[in-house]
Chain A
Amino acid sequence: MSDPTKEWPLWEVYIRSKQGLEHKHCGSLHASDAQQALRMARDVYTRRLEGVSIWVVPSAAITASAPGSKDSYFEPAADKIYRHPTFYVLPDEVGHM
């Protein structure tokens, strides 16, 4: 008999706390399938009404950017300060913009 504990796959859990906000990653858990993962996520991650909506995703389905060189991967954005509103100096008379 194969060991069943080895075979419950890992799921990542995302919770939306309030209507209108985005889902945020809050942790992971092992479950035998998606339905069970959802129920368990509710039991473990929403005991204090932390959410109105739960997503569960098999961890194996996630593709992540490599962290090692986040500097070089995101480097093109570093010298484009003209993307920020504060780059532009406007006279005071314009008022609020």
Chain B
Amino acid sequence: MYTQAIDLPEPPGPLEAGSGPRSAQAAGAGSEAAEQERQQAFDAAIAADEKIEPQDWMPEAYRRTLVRQISQHAHSEVVGMLPEGNWITRAPSLRRKAILLAKVQDEGGHGLYLYSAAETLGVSRDEMIEALLSGKAKYSSIFNYPTLSWADMGCIGWLVDGAAIMNQIPLCRCSYGPYARAMIRICKEESFHQRQGYELMLALCRGTPAQKAMAQEALDRWWWPVVMMFGPSDAESVHSAQTMKWGIKRISNDDLRQKFVDATVPQAELLGLRIPDPDLKWNEERGHYDFGQIDWNELWRVINGDGPCNRERLETRRRAHENGAWVREAALAHARKRAARQRAA
């Protein structure tokens, strides 16, 4: 079994280190009783809120769902560099340019943390890249929308990263160790992303009427796609029930969405911006904001490849991968030449 190239000692006897119900190594003959014991040990670990680590035995379905979720999370980070990368050359000031560069750099780094976490589950980087470039793997629907004005940079930081943070903080407590640790790192870096976005919106809203109008126009375009980021409602969400049982998902889609709306409405009011939802209203009884119906057709269209930028995003990633092949080959050739020279010396 692929174990990220980490060597384990020789298979042990029953009383030695390496045996015991949670060891992947002990998964030898796979008798029914042994299988049940491993499943029980796994279930007990999940119930006790313990972490599952790469070499622990885990149900095949748990492994598969994590590979899917973590790799798609990684793809989202890397594809997410594109809509913001679009404005680096046109940032209105050096300060804004440096900030945007730093943010996009961070997203690349986040992709790395997540690909690394996924690789501990026995999938290779090549397999994951192939799945993305062939269109088999998904990434967050929000990155299939275009960035049409500078104010979009503010909206993305404030709302898209804001929604991501809301989703990612509970993931820091996810049952799979490498994913949880990657999320902790990501969350630390993510908070500047949201603050710079909100600061940008503040500058526009306190600026000229044209700047404030640009900010409002951007919010009009981004609000609903951001609300859709939290995914289908709980009843329609295929994976939610199982991932919650496994301690991967901690809070439901609808609950996260509600938290996000409740937190964001006052932020918009402070900016003096109007959220484009005529049904948005504080509900005193519930203690939450009521909001309007989501157009689920749009979400499924975009997820299934028919959003404004899906084809462009994938084309860009394919070209980048192909155009970078000579760099990857050259680095390897150079490393081998140098190693040969050192051996000969």
Contact = CB atoms under 8 A, between A and B. Distances in A.
Interface of A: 1, 3-10, 26-30, 32-33, 36, 44-45, 47-48, 58-60, 62-73
Nearest to B23: A68
Interface of B: 4-9, 12, 15-26, 53, 55-57, 102, 105-106, 109, 112-113, 116, 119, 124-126, 129, 182, 185, 189, 325, 328-329, 331-332, 334-335, 338-339
Interface centre among A1, A27, A47, A68, by most chain B C-beta atoms within 10 angstroms, is A68
Contacts of B332: 4, 7-8, 32
A4 to B, nearest CB: 4
A62 B7 CA distance: 6
A72 B15 CA distance: 8
B24 to A, nearest CB: 7
B129 A5 contact: yes
Contacts of B185: 26-27
B7 A68 contact: no
Given A59-B6, A73-B17, A64 B55 contact: yes
A68 B55 contact: yes
Contacts of A28: 4, 116, 119
B5 A60 contact: yes
Nearest to B338: A33
A58 to B, nearest CB: 8
B58 to A, nearest CB: 11
Given A44-B112, A47-B106, A66-B55, A10 B335 contact: no
Select the residue from A27, A47, A59, A60 with max chain B CB neighbours within 10 A: A27
